[in-house]
Amino acid sequence: QVQLVESGGGPVQAGGSLRLSCAASKHSYSAFSMGWFRQAPGKEREGVAVIDNYGKTTHANSVKGRFTISQDSATNTLYLEMNSLKPEDTAMYYCALSRRLLTVVDPELLFAMDYWGKGTLVTILS
């Protein structure tokens, strides 16, 4: 069982920046991917970005150029750097881990994840 704990959410003015973190418990998967997802009120959960254990990243078109996913393998920590934030970025943000190598952010990505954190709320103030 892998435990995932997100942190770093909060209120921020539109145009501002925020960095989310996700601490993962130790695991023994040799090939895996981690991703960030978000769910806005009344909307379905959607993929934001994914990174595999080799460091290959993919970002959703809606955040490309503004958000950056990264990981620190030494500390098992996943990050999401968010810049130029917009009110429509307001959502609960979740991190997740998959036992597969994933390189596409599409609606099917949710079903490929095996473990989920409980989320951290990001509110963009206009």
pLDDT one-digit tens code per residue, 50-108: 999 999 999 999 999 999 999 999 999 999 999 999 999 999 999 999 999 998 998 88
Q: What does 28-78 look like in DSSP terms, one character per residue?
A: --SS-EEEEEEE-TTS--EEEEEEETT--EEE-TTTTTTEEEEEETTTTEE
Nearest to 84 by CA among 12, 9, 10, 16: 16
Do 59 and 67 form a contact (C-beta atoms < 8 A)? yes
